[in-house]
Amino acid sequence: MASQEEIFKKLVSHCKEYGFVFPSSDIYDGLGAVYDYGQNGVELKNNIKKYWWDSMTLLNENVVGIDSAVFMHPTVWKASGHVDAFNDPLIDNKDSKKRYRADVLIEEQIAKYEDKINRETEKAAKRFGDAFDEQKFRETNPRVQETEAKKAALHARFAKALNDENLEELRQIIIDEEIVCPVSGTRNWTEIRRFNLMFSTEMGSTADGATKIYLRPETAQGIFVNFLNVQKSGRMKIPFGIAQIGKAFRNEIVARQFIFRMREFEQMEMQFFVRPGEEAAWFEKWKQTRMRWHKALGLGDKKYRFHDHDKLAHYANAATDIEFEMPFGFKEVEGIHSRTDFDLSSHEKFSGKKIQFFDPELNRSYVPYVIETSIGVDRMFLSVLTGAYSEEKLEDGETRTVLKIPPALAPVKLAVLPLVKKDGLPEKAREIMDNLKFEYHCQYDEKDSIGKRYRRQDAIGTPYCVTVDHDGLVDNQVTIRYRDTMQQERVPIVRLEQVIAEKLSMKNLLKTI
Ligand code: GAP
């Protein structure tokens, strides 16, 4: 069986081969950690964005959207804390000259302890069969207990070092845990330094005295600076939320794992403004709502988990991640943060404008508290693809590669395939497409054998293939073939839309949240 690493490599090349994701400026050998979305990728990405946008703005009458500019007044980033505090602790290996994030090296070490425990448990489960009591095993097995204790100790030490911003202690942890550079295999580490992640550029010509501005590292600040505009123009009452989808830029130093960590990426963020003191309850509510949104896609409930933050960002009083099980372990896809009144208060201070809400029920004004849900479109895209990618052995010994993308998100919904390129079958196929194309992204394909055409559609995750044959010209029926089961069924053309509509409907997906 292929290892997770091999599967991930295959997925990356699959993405390129089938028009999902290309390296940026590919003909110039690419640009580090920057990617372009191809003809199928953009459809999937747009569908993910629609699923998120509709879930926010249609399902919550008190959530509205905006689209703010990438460029913002430079003081925004002073007020938000990004100029002073948006940095990563970096460490270099002197032999390989490779640079790493110190916190990521330690997190990976913690994950190794977890893997060891899981492997031990799986082995025991196989040995004991049905009689296996996993909880008891984890609580009593001496080897598991020993690894668990090491993990807990490392975790506590790491959290303390992060919270104290103690770079020397972080380095000492790397030394004590005997963490080696994956490239050189040595422990020859430099000191740890801090590195700001914001890209900057200049606005205006140098002769006029150009202003240094930043490419936004998060979309959230565009929401905060528009709080008053939206609240007043929309006559919004607390609690209410503002949602936005847009590009963000970070000069990531350790950019690995394909589109997981990019320098230009897209975020879907929603800031929910609440009364001070009510933030804990809203934090809990949004945690659950967001988890339901993920699980509704049906990629497998076990693939998700919450991960509470050890180190809170400079603005937060509670934070958790929703992690998805990628081929390289459980990884953050979304962050949910209780940001207190940090941002609005800070913008009040720096702008000199009063940013408050008069609450008629309390008969007083206050700076609202904020619960933020922040998800990366690209990471969501990666989680959908890794969850959907599957290689299946068929009865004839062949292997089919199929993307079991949730149908409502699939780039192409329906492929229409005339059995042969003559006898009026292409015309009939086109007629079917012409009826459905207003609602569904359809693809027409008449080249190669039907089997090959099915494989091509499996590879891009098309949920339904419809074959038009000679009988169909007489009885007005077609054969519909289902992607996941490969089962085929004869259906009257007039019923086709009804058969495919249920699973393709975004509305139905939204109803399951
Ligand atoms: N406004 C809060 C914020 O930006 P974050 O945890 O830094 O919080 C939120 O980012 C989400 O944005 C992450 O959960 C991740 O999905 C996505 N993200 C962050 N950095 C990224 C990167 N370099 N490449 C791709 N996605 C990224």
DSSP assignment string, 180-240:
--TTT----B---EEEE---EEEES-GGG-PEEEEB-S-SHHHHHTTHHHHHHHTT--SSE
* CB-facing half-sphere around the CA of 137: CA atoms within 13 A: 17
**Pair (253, 266) in one structural domain:** yes
Q: Are 101 and 162 in contact (CB under 8 A)?
A: no
Is 402 a domain residue? Answer: no
Supply the CATH number for residue 162's domain. Answer: 3.30.40.230
Three-state secondary structure call for residue 76: helix
Query: Could you give the CA distance from residue 275 to residue 362 in angstroms, rounded to a whole number?
Result: 10
Distance 398 CA to ligand 1 centre (A): 40
Burial class (CB in 10 A: 0-12, 13-18, 19+), 385: buried
In angstroms, what is the span from residue 377 Cα to ligand 1's centroid? 9
Whether 259 maps to a domain, the answer reads yes
Question: Does 346 lie in the same domain as 386?
Answer: yes
Please give the number of the atom of ligand 1 that sits closest to the Cα of 261.
24
Q: Are residues 150 and 221 in the same domain?
A: no
Say whether both 135 and 246 belong to one domain.
no
Q: Which of 164, 195, 226 is the last residue of a domain?
A: 195
Q: Whose CA is nearest to atom 25 of ligand 1?
A: 261
For a ligand 1 pocket test, name from 259, 321, 379, 384 the mutation site with the most ligand atoms within 8 angstroms of its C-beta. Answer: 379
Nearest atom of ligand 1 to the alpha carbon of 379: 16
Confidence (pLDDT) at 209:
72
252 lines ligand 1 (CB under 6 A): yes
Sheet holding 99-101, edge to edge: 99-101, 87-92, 193-196
- Tell me, yes or no, whether 17 lies in a domain: no
Q: Which of 216, 269, 304, 332 maximizes ligand 1 atoms within 8 Å of its Cβ, making it the mutation to test the pocket?
A: 332
Does the beta carbon of 223 lie inside 6 Å of ligand 1?
A: no
User: For the domain that residue 295 is a member of, what is the CATH number?
Assistant: 3.30.930.10
**Residues 253 and 352 placed together within one structural domain of the fold:** yes
331 lines ligand 1 (CB under 6 A): no
In sequence order, which residues have a C-beta less than 8 Å from that of residue 84 and are 6 or more positions away?
78
User: Which atom, in ligand 1's list, is nearest to the CA of 263?
Assistant: 23
- The one-letter amino acid code at 404 reads K
Is position 357 within any domain? yes
Q: Is 27 within a domain?
A: no
Do 354 and 208 lie in a common domain? yes
Same domain, 378 and 474: no
Q: Kindly give the distance from the C-alpha atom of residue 267 to the centroid of ligand 1, in angstroms, as a whole number.
A: 7
Q: In the prediction, which pLDDT does 3 show?
A: 80
Buried b (16+ CB within 10 A) or exposed e, 327-339: bbebbbbbbbbbb
CB distance 113 to ligand 1 below 6 Å: no
Boundary (domain end) residue, out of 361, 394, 427: 394
Check residue 207 and give its pLDDT: 65
Residue nearest (by alpha carbon) to ligand 1 atom 14: 334
Question: Looking at the structure, do residues 350 and 429 belong to the same domain, yes or no?
Answer: no
Determine if ligand 1 sits within 6 Å of the CB of residue 218: yes
498/283 Cα distance (integer angstroms): 40
Are 167 and 192 within 8 A, CB to CB? Answer: yes
**Cα–ligand 1 centroid distance for 375 (angstroms):** 7
Cβ–ligand 1 distance for 439 under 6 Å, the answer no
CA of 352 to the centre of ligand 1 (A): 29
Taking CA atoms only, the protein residue closest to ligand 1 atom 12 is 376
Six-digit token string for 160: 């303390």
**Distance from residue 6's CA to the centre of ligand 1 (Å):** 26
Rounded to whole angstroms, how far apart are CA atoms 149 and 145? 6
Please indicate, yes or no, whether residues 315 and 432 belong to a single structural domain of this protein.
no
Residue-range definition of the domain harbouring residue 150: 87-195
432 lines ligand 1 (CB under 6 A): no
Peptide bond into 239 cis (omega under 30): yes
Distance 457 CA to ligand 1 centre (A): 32
Residue at 210 is within a domain: yes
- Our mutation pick for probing the ligand 1 site, out of 257, 267, 308, counting the most ligand atoms within 8 A of Cβ, is 267
Q: Please indicate whether residue 246, judged by its CB atom, sits closer than 6 Å to ligand 1.
A: no
177 Cβ below 6 A of ligand 1:
no
State the distance from the centre of ligand 1 to the C-alpha of 442, rounded, in angstroms.
Answer: 33
CA angle (489 as vertex; 486, 494 as ends), nearest 5: 130
Neighbouring CB atoms inside 10 A of 426's CB total 18
How confident is the prediction along the chain (513 residues), in pLDDT tens digits per residue?
578 889 999 999 999 999 999 999 999 999 999 999 999 999 999 999 999 999 999 999 999 999 999 999 999 999 999 998 898 899 999 999 999 999 999 999 999 999 999 999 999 999 998 889 999 999 999 999 999 999 999 999 999 998 888 999 999 999 999 999 999 999 999 999 999 999 999 998 766 677 899 999 999 999 999 999 999 999 999 999 999 999 999 999 876 789 999 999 999 999 999 999 999 999 999 999 999 999 999 999 999 999 998 777 767 889 999 999 999 899 999 999 999 999 999 999 999 999 999 999 999 999 999 999 999 999 999 999 999 999 999 988 999 999 999 999 999 999 999 999 999 999 999 999 999 999 999 999 999 999 999 999 999 999 999 999 999 999 999 999 999 999 999 999 999 999 999 999 999 999 999
- Same domain assignment for residues 170 and 241: no
Residues 470 and 358 in one domain: no
- Judge if the beta carbon of residue 445 lies within 6 A of ligand 1: no
Whose C-alpha lies nearest to ligand 1, atom 5?
Answer: 335
Instruction: Flag whether 405 is in a domain.
Output: no
State the pLDDT at residue 210.
79
CB 505 within 8 A of CB 497: no
Angle among Cα 376, 380, 383 to the nearest 5 degrees reads: 140
Q: Domain for residue 422, yes or no?
A: yes
Residues 215 and 300 in one domain: yes
| Number of C-beta neighbours around residue 96 at 10 A | 15
CATH number at residue 492: 3.40.50.800
Among 195, 227, 251, residue at a domain's last position: 195
Domain count, the chain: 3
